[in-house]
């Protein structure tokens, strides 16, 4: 009884003193759930990627790196990887390019009801993702809006097939789909800029353009960096859009993963592909973060 009392007292005192311990305790349900739905499947994936498929849902459980060797030597996967990265990078670039002026407009030129403007701008994104992808199919398709419009205007004699089922169709669709996610972080970082900084720059002789490049842009870079990461990571792994509007030329790495877990029926290879793409994205993101950090530090 006495010992029990002493230990609980000791624990309580320790708890009162240590803020971080308290924090972890408060977080413990979250940590448990995260472990359950993230860590355990992740470890499962690692183990699976080291096995070999020998029949439907049957595996040779001797550990081997063969799957990774296939991933990194097979020409097809190399092409898919680089295409995914290029498509994703292009999407990210275009999205930010598109979102920046919109965010800038709301932050600096809208006086009242800014929230309403933001909601209106993100309104299209409240509809289903699939619906929006199909909408682009309707716009870019053989009998689509663009083709029939151009035919009616007499600019072309027969529908253009260049519009749909290629990587650029994927980029267009993804860019539109993710724009809302770029507007918000950029808007927040622009909104945060102290207006007197801009006035100070003008006072010190900057024209509006010079001021934008010397003050506004550097100070909004954190938002831009957040937006790029927010878009780059999920778009690399997207498989819905490429399978709907990408055609065989727009096939991306996630489609290959989906194939291996589905009709290809090679789960260990699929696991190795996803782990590899995860690693690649992580490395790219970290490098990007480091580079952008030094860049924002050294802007003059």
Q: Which contiguous run of DSSP H or E holds residue 203? A: helix 195-203
Of 172, 180, 196, 177, the residue nearest 106 (C-alpha): 180
Residue given tokens 């290809």 in the structure block? 264
Q: Is 206 in the site for another protein (CB under 8 A)?
A: yes
Q: How many CB atoms lie within 10 A of CB 2?
A: 6
Q: How far is the CB of 191 from another protein (least distance, A)?
A: 15
| Least Cβ distance, residue 115 to another protein (angstroms) | 22
Quick one: which of 106, 215, 256, 281 contacts another protein (CB under 8 A)? 215
Instruction: Report how far apart, in Å, the C-alpha atoms of 150 and of each of 58, 138, 161, 209 are.
Output: 54, 14, 13, 38
**Six token digits for residue 198:** 């801009």
Examine residue 203 and tell whether it contacts another protein (CB under 8 A).
Answer: yes
Q: Do the beta carbons of residue 240 and residue 129 sit within 8 Å?
A: yes
234 near another protein, rule: CB under 8 A: no
Q: Which stretch binds another protein (CB under 8 A): 99-107, 114-122, 142-150, 192-200?
A: 192-200
Residue 295 Cβ, how far from another protein at the closest point, in Å?
11
Shortest distance, position 110 Cβ to another protein, whole Å: 17
Q: Which of 62, 196, 248, 294 binds another protein (CB under 8 A)?
A: 196
**How far is the CA of 251 from the CAs of 273, 278, 292, in angstroms?**
15, 18, 30
197 binds another protein (CB under 8 A): yes
Collect all residues with Cβ–Cβ distance below 8 Å to 133 and sequence separation of at least 6: 173, 177, 240, 241, 244, 245
Residue 266 interacts with another protein (CB under 8 A): yes or no: no
Which of 6, 9, 199, 279 contacts another protein by CB under 8 A? 199
Interface with another protein includes 205 (CB under 8 A)? yes
Residue 194 in contact with another protein, rule: CB under 8 A: yes
Q: Which residues bind another protein (CB under 8 A)?
A: 194, 196-197, 199-207, 214-215, 218-219, 296-297, 299-300
């Amino acid at each position: 009884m006495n010992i029990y009392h002493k230990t609980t007292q000791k624990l309580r005192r320790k708890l009162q003193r240590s803020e971080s311990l308290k924090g972890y305790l408060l977080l413990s349900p979250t940590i448990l759930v995260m472990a359950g739905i993230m860590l355990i499947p992740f470890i499962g994936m690692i183990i699976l990627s080291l096995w070999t498929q020998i029949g439907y849902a049957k595996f040779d459980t001797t550990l081997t790196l063969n799957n990774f060797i296939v991933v990194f030597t097979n020409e097809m996967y190399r092409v898919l990887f680089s295409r995914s990265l290029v498509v994703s990078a292009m999407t990210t670039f275009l999205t930010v390019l598109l979102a920046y002026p919109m965010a800038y407009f709301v932050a600096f030129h809208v006086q009242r009801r800014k929230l309403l403007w933001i909601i209106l701008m993100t309104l299209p994104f409240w509809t289903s993702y699939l619906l929006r992808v199909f909408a682009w199919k309707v716009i870019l398709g053989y009998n689509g809006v663009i083709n029939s419009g151009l035919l009616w205007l007499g600019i072309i004699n027969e529908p253009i097939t260049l519009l749909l089922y290629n990587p650029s169709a994927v980029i267009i669709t993804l860019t539109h789909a993710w724009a809302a996610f770029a507007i918000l972080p950029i808007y927040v970082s622009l909104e945060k800029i102290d207006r007197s900084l801009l006035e100070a720059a003008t006072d010190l002789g900057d024209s509006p353009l010079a001021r934008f490049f010397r003050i506004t842009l550097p100070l909004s870079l954190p938002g831009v960096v957040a937006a790029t990461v927010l878009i780059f990571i999920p778009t690399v792994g997207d498989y819905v859009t490429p399978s709907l509007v990408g055609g065989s030329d727009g096939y991306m790495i996630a489609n290959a993963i989906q194939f291996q877990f589905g009709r290809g029926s090679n789960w260990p290879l699929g696991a190795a592909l996803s782990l590899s793409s995860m690693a690649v994205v992580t490395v790219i993101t970290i490098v990007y973060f480091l580079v952008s950090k030094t860049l924002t530090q050294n802007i003059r």
